[in-house]
Amino acid sequence: MNARQAVGLAAIALVFCGLYVRALTAPAAARFVPPRAAGEEKAAAPRYATQLLPNSSTQSVHSATALEIPGGKLRAFWYGGTREGASDVAIYTSVYSPKEETWSPERAVMTRELAQRQLQRSVRKLGNPVVGRDRAGRMCLYFVSVSVGGWAGSAINLTISEDEGETWGPARRLVASPFFNISTLVKGVPLLLSDGTIALPVYHEFLGKFGETLRLDGEARVVGKTRLSWGKSSLQPVIVPRSETEAVGFMRYAGDPPARILEIRTTDGGAHWTEPVKTALPNPNAAVGSVLLVGGPLALAFNNAEENRESLSLALSTDFGNTWRVARNLEGESLPPHAPVAEYSYPWIIQDSSGSVHVLYTWGRSRIKHVVFSRAWLEGGGR
């Protein structure tokens, strides 16, 4: 062995020791953090209120996401611009005060130009935002950006706020695909796992349409991923855990008729998932939202039609998704006022710490609508 060979062998030994140490110390399989108990509702009487979020900035809005902040308030995000995919699309935010029952004027937190500068790469347009928290309680805003092409060219970025969304750190790119890191998008709620890592539901729509979860470590770096489905017809996974090991997931369906919401399940903390099966609920190739309400019923917000997004309903399941009953209709032909464009889509549903349930969704592409109600109203029958 000559000196050059010896150096080569030593280098191999050194880096592979590092790779083995990395493999042996990688985060082990984690468990879900079961939903926290919400407080008792202040009023037992059914309560239902709606309002449109402020929008003095843009002609078109879409894809709302929200989370609770201190004081029982809600901070929402969505994207808006001249139209979907336009270069002036930005991510906007607004805060809801339950005391005043009003939303603050919207303001942009991320523009294409800002993302481009912070990511140090060209960005053509922005897309879906999704908000969650990391183990330190920081607010994490994941958002889609596209450098070239349509939504199939998407990648996910992350920016973090340490002051409940008032100011934001520099955005950075999450790498989730080996093919130019394109075709990864977000829509579902990020889940905090028992070891402090995050499971971020994502989906791909380049050649195939399928779902995955990305595992993010404490520094919000992607350190693993798990495939939720495969093929060309399932996307926008939403995952709802009910115990440390058990969860159900729902996915938008983009395949052949009959058009139904897809369902997946895990019993080992998300390490393995069942193959997607069609539920009894229709799906017009549109996103759904779901939350496990305190006390057990699973709520699902969905477009209650196979071919359009002109109705939006809430379904309840008392057996964790095996059977459903449509409890309320939020939008539909018989429910004025109608939006200029009859599209009610991309619902985001959460239950706050007081027990109130909030649904935010795209209302006619021109506004984000907020519906807040009590569980008593939800379970009170058809509207």
Partner 1 sequence: MTATSFFGLLGCGLLCLALVATALRLDRFSVRVRQAVAVIAVVALFVPVGGLPLAAYLRGVTGDLSVPTLALAASACVSRITGRSLFAPRECSALLGLVAAAALFLYPFALGFTPFDPYALGYASIAFTTALLLATLAAWRAGLNLIVFVVVAAAAACLGGVYESRNLWDYLIDPLVAFYALIRLGAGAVGRTFPRRQS
Stretch that binds partner 1, among 161-169, 201-209, 242-250, 326-334 (CB under 8 A): 201-209
Contact status: 116 vs partner 1 (CB under 8 A): yes
Contact status: 230 vs partner 1 (CB under 8 A): yes
Angstrom distance (rounded) from CA 288 to CA 188: 9
Return the exposure string of 4-31: e unless at least 16 CB atoms fall within 10 Å of the residue's CB, then b. Answer: eeeeeeeeeeeeeeeeeeeeeeeeeebb
247 by DSSP, 3-state: which? strand
Contact status: 24 vs partner 1 (CB under 8 A): yes
Contact status: 252 vs partner 1 (CB under 8 A): no
Angstrom distance (rounded) from CA 59 to CA 91: 14
Contact status: 180 vs partner 1 (CB under 8 A): yes
Element (H, E) at 308: none
Residue with smaller CB distance to partner 1, 82 or 122:
122
The residues, any chain, with a CB within 8 Å of residue 120's CB and separated by 6 or more, are none
Binding partner 1 (rule: CB under 8 A), the pick from 35, 98, 224, 255 is 224
Contact status: 174 vs partner 1 (CB under 8 A): yes
Residue with smaller CB distance to partner 1, 169 or 296:
169
Contact status: 22 vs partner 1 (CB under 8 A): yes
Residue with smaller CB distance to partner 1, 270 or 364:
270
Angstrom distance (rounded) from CA 345 to CA 289: 10
* Token reading at 371: 């519906």
Stretch that binds partner 1, among 68-76, 109-117, 246-254, 289-297 (CB under 8 A): 109-117
Angstrom distance (rounded) from CA 28 to CA 61: 40
CB 285 within 8 A of CB 259: yes
Distances (CA, A) of 160 to 134, 164, 170, 220, 342: 9, 9, 8, 9, 35
Contact status: 3 vs partner 1 (CB under 8 A): no
User: Residues 336 to 355: which contact partner 1 by CB under 8 A?
Assistant: none
Residue with smaller CB distance to partner 1, 225 or 242:
225
Binding partner 1 (rule: CB under 8 A), the pick from 15, 43, 49, 136 is 15
Residue with smaller CB distance to partner 1, 8 or 296:
8
Binding partner 1 (rule: CB under 8 A), the pick from 175, 271, 277, 335 is 175
CB 250 within 8 A of CB 263: yes
CB 222 within 8 A of CB 214: yes
Q: Which residues bind partner 1 (CB under 8 A)?
A: 4-5, 8-9, 11-12, 15-16, 18-20, 22-24, 26, 113, 116-117, 119-124, 147-148, 155, 170, 172-175, 177-181, 204, 206-210, 212, 221-227, 230-231
